[in-house]
Chains A and B, each alone.
Chain A
Amino acid sequence: MRLAAAEKIKKAASLPDLEALRISYLGKKGELTAVLKQMGGLSPEERPAAGQLANEIRATIEELIAARQKKFKEKEKSKRLVSEAIDVTLPGKSSPIGHKHPISIVLDEVTDLFIGMGFSVASGPEVELDYYNFEALNIPPGHPARDTQDTFYITDKVLLRTQTSPVQIRYMENNKPPIRIISPGRVYRSDSVDATHSPLFHQIEGLVVDKGITMGDLKACLEAIAKGIFGGGTKIRLRPHHFPFTEPSCEVDVSCFRCGGSGCPMCKYEGWIEVLGAGMVHPKVLKNGGINPDEYSGFAFGVGLERITLFRFRIDDMRLLFENDVRFLSQF
């Protein structure tokens, strides 16, 4: 029986066939069940051996059926898996997120950089007093740097700030050294709109005031900024310059981030690109901020955010930043 059953199980072609076989052997009216039923007719001496044999046969049949069943199931499963194959190149189902404005992207990066260096973020009014925008910054009335062509005036005393530097004075008036701030914000100049000019743009002002601050500190800070914004290999070059509110003043060039300094159209073959202005805070400015210049010194810097953003994303026209076309914005 064992051999016959094994043969039949082997030949079974489907799960229902197997089930039928199981019933025909092990079911209530099955062959083996019938054998077991006849056990009562055996002598007590024969019974254990016969019982053992019957149980063995049952176990074998069950095992064989189970093994065969497993095979069928696996086969069925792999069939199903094949039939369930999908075109994975169909588009995904997303819930799209929005896009940060490129200026914000750069500003957030720069802000993170400075927070890491122990800076706080300060702000000041955009509609500002002439005093803070000019006078307190060592630009007295009649100074050539004040040309009205560049400044939007509200009244004689009130204007749209032309730089973020007035925040320096406002912050010093209300805070004691050590001071370590950046102040990003909107500034206004009376420039007509074109590919590289906008009557409104953003600056980031930086101010550090403490005992014993030197130009060496400024240089190290500028190096850290340049590397943070333009990449680890970036070098800087400080060129003497003039700003009324710093002394000494410098313009800061970074090694060209496209060619690395060997010369290309981007840097006009000079290897350097001018990105910001900086200097040691003018003693008069410290004084105007209520800080004793004999006790403290400091440095300040200002950088145009649009300029960096244009460089960063290789945008060739500043107007795109303020047109806010979603086809442009969604690229960032």
Chain B
Amino acid sequence: MLLSKKWLNDFLKTDIADKKFAGIMTMSGSKVEGFRREGDELEKIVVARIISLERHPNSDHLFICSADVGGESPIQIVTGAQNLSAGDFVPVALDGSVTAGGKKIKKSKLRGVESDGMFCSLGELGLTAHDFPYAVSDGVFVLGGDCDRLPGADIKSAIGLDDTVFEFEITPNRPDCLSVIGLAREAAAALEMPFCVPAPCVKAGAGDVGDCLSIDISDNEKCYRYAGAVVKNVRIAPSPRWMRERLRAGGVRPINNIVDITNFVMLEYGQPMHAFDYRFLEGGSVIVRTAKKGETITTLDGVQRALSEDMLVIADAVKPVAVAGVMGGEYSGIMDDTQTIVFESACFNGPSVRSTSKKLGMRTEASARYEKGLDPKGCRACLDRALELVQLLDAGDVVNGVIDCDKTADARATVQFDPDWTNSFIGIDMSADEQAKILERLSFKVQDGIVTVPSFRGDVEHKADIAEEVARFYGFENIKSHPIISTTAGALNDTQKLQKLAGDILLAQGLTEIMTYSFISPKSYDKIMLGADSPLRKSIVISNPLGEDTSVMRTTSVPSMLEVLSRNFNNRNAAARLYELSTVYIPKDGEELPEEKITVSLGMYGEGLDFFSLKGVIEELLLSFGICDCDVEAVTDCAYLHPGRAAKLTAGGDELGIFGEVHPDVLDNYEIDTKAYVGSVDFNTLKKHADLARSYKQLPKFPATTRDLAFVCDKSLPVLTLRRAISSAAGGVLESLTLFDVYEGSQIPEGMKSVAFNLVLRSPDKTMTDEEADDAVRRSVKALEKLGISLRGQ
């Protein structure tokens, strides 16, 4: 919302400095985004009166002019303009001046003749023909009678280019502040100044509106009020300068007096207005109704639009002539030969306008205002103001009377006046009188413990709203901080603690944390080669996604990880070891919200890394979570993993995770030209099996005995089988069992491998004898022999 300071001063006489004003408004709730002084960059441009002009002796198009700029002697200007004559008043940029766009003007010689400066066009003042319709577009701006034509006067004040324009950010709850009057009211309250809006005064005219216009609202839900008036013998002309100036400051381009009046009233009161050409209003009737099935309308912008039955239209006896609150129809606008017009000032239901404008893909200044909900009591004053302006501008003859279909309730909203509650809610101590005074300045009425809310403040309905009004004029900066005293113990819960632990363990192992989008492309499931019937393909689908790439909520974190690995690989990073605690979204049946599961997602590539690098990371993670009894088995059917290099983790029968080398075809799909490894561990299962309870075990008092054993077994036999057999056979004296060699090759039969372990044996209560150690070894060897595995060398 742009606010002209001059316009503000129509309601409020203040000479407060611009910056101070901006600060006060911002701190009382009307945020000033910025402000600019019009014509700020223009320097040393003054009004000149042309005394004489003669042709340049060395040019067939230049003139040498003598001009009065208020000094003792005239100055000389050489100009190429062809539209000047003696006696004209024009803007002149003197030596050392600056014109619009920052262009500097200096004294110079044109074809040998000295020129003390330059006459300016509208463009050189930063204006257009809309600002001064009588000015020629391709010549020097000759000041008309609406300018202060005093030689030597600063051009900015002479032509009214000396306003300050404030830009406000208005929150959607305050449509009343999308108007000069609304902001003036706020300003008056903030500056503690008197404020009043003079009631528009329409002089008696000819005829009676009832003879030429009828209005009928057939849908009271969507239209609360519709007021209309008629102006005959319309005299289309440019608006006067003061109106053009205000429109320009408000960001609206002046067009002609009638259109300008509708825009002027909209900016001043916040109420959109429309002017219909009476010729195209069949039967002289206005019917506010919803569109009929199959009806269409060609809007002012020339587009034909199909209407649906929930859309409110303004119709005449035959056809829709406007989409209510959004845009007028093709013939509803003002044309050069328009003779009679109907002014509309109406109040439509906000959500209905919003829904219509959304459906038609048409957001206009009017719809943006209506959808926030306008003052139902405001229409009439706006219509009167428009008629008053018609008379003031002599833009036509107002027909007596106004037709005002008012379906709004008369009762105003009221809220209990509870100054004590406000004090305790905000944390201030302000007397009831002072609070009432603030409210009254904002046009609330306070009487007998009741606050009556003005009709334009639809946002106020609770005593908390009243407290806010008081607080913002008391000043948020004046509210004293009250140190909060903790009555609750703050802590992470178990899940949060374990999430933090998982992150810490992975970080400590050198993995770097990533953050990826939760939505992916459905094509990702093809890229990781999930089977057509994989349940993971069933994901939550976004109905209005930004694009396919972000259109479904992931059911697996693997594509996100692969994408990041790919990006790093293709950015020529030599290695990456990454993790994410990523959420996946598993749809549920019916209307239930999906399950949001956290997955510990792991991924890595780089020199020296292999399957066991990833496995080691996972083992360390499990160890930190106190999960010791976890089974690992090979999986051959995980779509995105190498069938010979993938494993599944289970704990107590629950599937904990899956990891392995990425399938070469998937690597191709992600353009990763090296081996990569990914894994995912389900956080909930991790949490379920976590055991963080620790109790101290005594340090050993007696020395350990070690033995190395090498066995020869079938190449395909998992080492785990040997480990398990040794562990259970050796019994409690086996403190640790460490694999230290797996060997295939010479001295070992074809199809076999040698597996060597180091056994640490220790008795808790005495020094172990060689015999006892040998006995444990014998038991282990025997157990393996039962499995057909023999000691190497036997």
Considering the complex, give the chain A residue whose CB is closest to the CB of B485.
Answer: A118
Looking at B336-344, B468-476, B624-632, B637-645, the stretch in contact with chain A turns out to be: B468-476
Inter-subunit contact B462/A215 (CB<8 Å): no
Which residues of A, 149-192, contact B by the 8 Å Cβ criterion?
A: 152-155, 157-158, 160, 178, 180, 186, 188, 190, 192
How far apart sit A79 and B90, CA to CA, in the bound complex (Å)?
A: 98
Q: Contacts A127-B540, A152-B542 known; A321 to B515 CB distance under 8 Å?
A: yes
Inter-subunit contact A104/B503 (CB<8 Å): yes
A276 to chain B, nearest CB (A): 14
How far apart sit A51 and B571, CA to CA, in the bound complex (Å)?
A: 90
Residues in chain A near residue B491, CB distance under 8 A:
115, 120
How far apart sit A35 and B328, CA to CA, in the bound complex (Å)?
A: 138
Which single member of B464, B540, B544 contacts A148 (CB below 8 Å)? B544
How far apart sit A134 and B510, CA to CA, in the bound complex (Å)?
A: 42
Inter-subunit contact B596/A219 (CB<8 Å): no
B504 to chain A, nearest CB (A): 9
Which single member of A95, A141, A284, A325 contacts B351 (CB below 8 Å)? A141
Q: Interface centre among B27, B464, B465, B519, by most A CB within 10 Å?
A: B464
Residues in chain A near residue B174, CB distance under 8 A:
242
Contact pattern, A 225-241, Cβ under 8 Å of B = 1, otherwise 0: 00000000000011111
Which residues of A, 119-137, contact B by the 8 Å Cβ criterion?
A: 119-121, 125-129
Residues in chain B near residue A36, CB distance under 8 A:
none
Which single member of A101, A160, A186, A221 contacts B513 (CB below 8 Å)? A101
Inter-subunit contact A152/B425 (CB<8 Å): no
Inter-subunit contact A214/B482 (CB<8 Å): yes
Residues in chain B near residue A108, CB distance under 8 A:
500
Q: Contacts A101-B513, A186-B518 known; A199 to B550 CB distance under 8 Å?
A: yes
Residues in chain A near residue B550, CB distance under 8 A:
199
Contact pattern, B 368-383, Cβ under 8 Å of A = 1, otherwise 0: 0001100000000000
Looking at B108-116, B297-305, B577-585, the stretch in contact with chain A turns out to be: B577-585
Asked whether A117 is an interface residue with its Cβ less than 8 Å from the other chain, the reply is yes
How far apart sit A251 and B171, CA to CA, in the bound complex (Å)?
A: 12
Residues in chain B near residue A128, CB distance under 8 A:
593
How far apart sit A104 and B544, CA to CA, in the bound complex (Å)?
A: 29
How many residues in A have their beta carbons less than 8 Å from beta carbons of B?
83
Considering the complex, give the chain A residue whose CB is closest to the CB of B469.
Answer: A248
Contact pattern, B 486-504, Cβ under 8 Å of A = 1, otherwise 0: 1111111100100010010
Contact pattern, A 74-108, Cβ under 8 Å of B = 1, otherwise 0: 00000000000000000000011111110110001
B600 to chain A, nearest CB (A): 13
Q: Contacts A142-B354, A144-B372, A241-B171 known; A325 to B482 CB distance under 8 Å?
A: no
A281 to chain B, nearest CB (A): 9
Q: Contacts A127-B596, A324-B514 known; A200 to B519 CB distance under 8 Å?
A: yes
Asked whether B511 is an interface residue with its Cβ less than 8 Å from the other chain, the reply is yes
Q: Contacts A127-B593, A242-B172, A323-B567 known; A220 to B484 CB distance under 8 Å?
A: yes
Inter-subunit contact A325/B573 (CB<8 Å): yes
Q: Interface centre among A178, A217, A223, by most B CB within 10 Å?
A: A217
Considering the complex, give the chain A residue whose CB is closest to the CB of B551.
Answer: A152
Contact pattern, B 118-157, Cβ under 8 Å of A = 1, otherwise 0: 0000000000000000000000000000000000000000
Asked whether B426 is an interface residue with its Cβ less than 8 Å from the other chain, the reply is yes
Asked whether A210 is an interface residue with its Cβ less than 8 Å from the other chain, the reply is yes
Asked whether A247 is an interface residue with its Cβ less than 8 Å from the other chain, the reply is yes
Contact pattern, A 12-51, Cβ under 8 Å of B = 1, otherwise 0: 0000000000000000000000000000000000000000
How far apart sit A326 and B568, CA to CA, in the bound complex (Å)?
A: 7
B145 to chain A, nearest CB (A): 42
Inter-subunit contact B464/A216 (CB<8 Å): no
Inter-subunit contact B354/A127 (CB<8 Å): no
Inter-subunit contact A247/B568 (CB<8 Å): no
Residues in chain B near residue A155, CB distance under 8 A:
543
A296 to chain B, nearest CB (A): 11
Inter-subunit contact B483/A220 (CB<8 Å): yes
Q: Contacts A324-B568, A325-B573 known; A98 to B426 CB distance under 8 Å?
A: no
Inter-subunit contact B513/A216 (CB<8 Å): no
Inter-subunit contact B27/A127 (CB<8 Å): no
How far apart sit A101 and B511, CA to CA, in the bound complex (Å)?
A: 11
Contact pattern, B 580-596, Cβ under 8 Å of A = 1, otherwise 0: 00010100000101101
How far apart sit A96 and B464, CA to CA, in the bound complex (Å)?
A: 55
How far apart sit A199 and B277, CA to CA, in the bound complex (Å)?
A: 46
Asked whether A283 is an interface residue with its Cβ less than 8 Å from the other chain, the reply is yes
Asked whether A315 is an interface residue with its Cβ less than 8 Å from the other chain, the reply is no
Contact pattern, B 341-365, Cβ under 8 Å of A = 1, otherwise 0: 0000000001110110010000000
How far apart sit A142 and B482, CA to CA, in the bound complex (Å)?
A: 38
Q: Contacts A119-B490, A322-B516 known; A242 to B173 CB distance under 8 Å?
A: yes
Considering the complex, give the chain A residue whose CB is closest to the CB of B482.
Answer: A216
How far apart sit A117 and B485, CA to CA, in the bound complex (Å)?
A: 8
How far apart sit A323 and B596, CA to CA, in the bound complex (Å)?
A: 23
Inter-subunit contact A282/B464 (CB<8 Å): yes
Residues in chain A near residue B465, CB distance under 8 A:
247
Interface residues on B, range: 35 or more
B501 to chain A, nearest CB (A): 13
Which single member of A115, A238, A325 contacts B477 (CB below 8 Å)? A238
Residues in chain B near residue A97, CB distance under 8 A:
507-510
Inter-subunit contact A98/B577 (CB<8 Å): yes
Contact pattern, B 534-556, Cβ under 8 Å of A = 1, otherwise 0: 00000011111110001001000
How far apart sit A265 and B99, CA to CA, in the bound complex (Å)?
A: 27
Q: Contacts A242-B171, A325-B573, A329-B513 known; A180 to B490 CB distance under 8 Å?
A: yes
Residues in chain A near residue B596, CB distance under 8 A:
125-127
Q: Interface centre among A126, A157, A210, A237, by most B CB within 10 Å?
A: A126
Q: Contacts A98-B510, A248-B467 known; A153 to B544 CB distance under 8 Å?
A: yes
Residues in chain B near residue A242, CB distance under 8 A:
171-174
Asked whether A314 is an interface residue with its Cβ less than 8 Å from the other chain, the reply is no
Residues in chain A near residue B358, CB distance under 8 A:
148
Which single member of B173, B488, B507, B571 contacts A120 (CB below 8 Å)? B488
B362 to chain A, nearest CB (A): 14
Inter-subunit contact A178/B487 (CB<8 Å): yes
Inter-subunit contact A212/B424 (CB<8 Å): yes
Residues in chain A near residue B372, CB distance under 8 A:
144
Asked whether A264 is an interface residue with its Cβ less than 8 Å from the other chain, the reply is no
Which single member of B472, B477, B542 contacts A160 (CB below 8 Å)? B542
B147 to chain A, nearest CB (A): 36
Inter-subunit contact B425/A297 (CB<8 Å): yes
Q: Contacts A216-B427, A283-B462, A322-B515 known; A96 to B31 CB distance under 8 Å?
A: no
Inter-subunit contact B171/A330 (CB<8 Å): no
Considering the complex, give the chain B residue whose CB is closest to the CB of A286.
Answer: B464
Asked whether B719 is an interface residue with its Cβ less than 8 Å from the other chain, the reply is no
Asked whether B414 is an interface residue with its Cβ less than 8 Å from the other chain, the reply is no
Which single member of B27, B510, B514, B594 contacts A95 (CB below 8 Å)? B510
Inter-subunit contact A324/B578 (CB<8 Å): yes
Which residues of B, 572-617, contact A by the 8 Å Cβ criterion?
A: 573, 575-579, 583, 585, 591, 593-594, 596
Residues in chain A near residue B721, CB distance under 8 A:
none
How far apart sit A104 and B579, CA to CA, in the bound complex (Å)?
A: 13
How far apart sit A153 and B544, CA to CA, in the bound complex (Å)?
A: 6
Residues in chain B near residue A153, CB distance under 8 A:
542-544
Residues in chain B near residue A204, CB distance under 8 A:
none
Inter-subunit contact B29/A117 (CB<8 Å): no
Asked whether A266 is an interface residue with its Cβ less than 8 Å from the other chain, the reply is no
Q: Contacts A117-B484, A190-B546 known; A154 to B476 CB distance under 8 Å?
A: no
Selected A-B contacts with CB under 8 Å, 20 pairs:
A98-B506, A98-B508, A100-B503, A101-B512, A119-B490, A120-B491, A127-B540, A144-B172, A148-B544, A154-B543, A155-B543, A178-B487, A180-B486, A219-B479, A239-B26, A247-B468, A280-B467, A322-B515, A323-B567, A326-B575
Closest 7 CB pairs of A and B: A142-B351, A214-B427, A216-B427, A118-B486, A240-B29, A216-B482, A242-B171
Q: A115-B492, A215-B479, A220-B483 are in contact. List 8 more A-B contacts (CB 8 A).
A: A100-B507, A115-B490, A117-B490, A118-B489, A152-B543, A248-B476, A251-B31, A280-B467
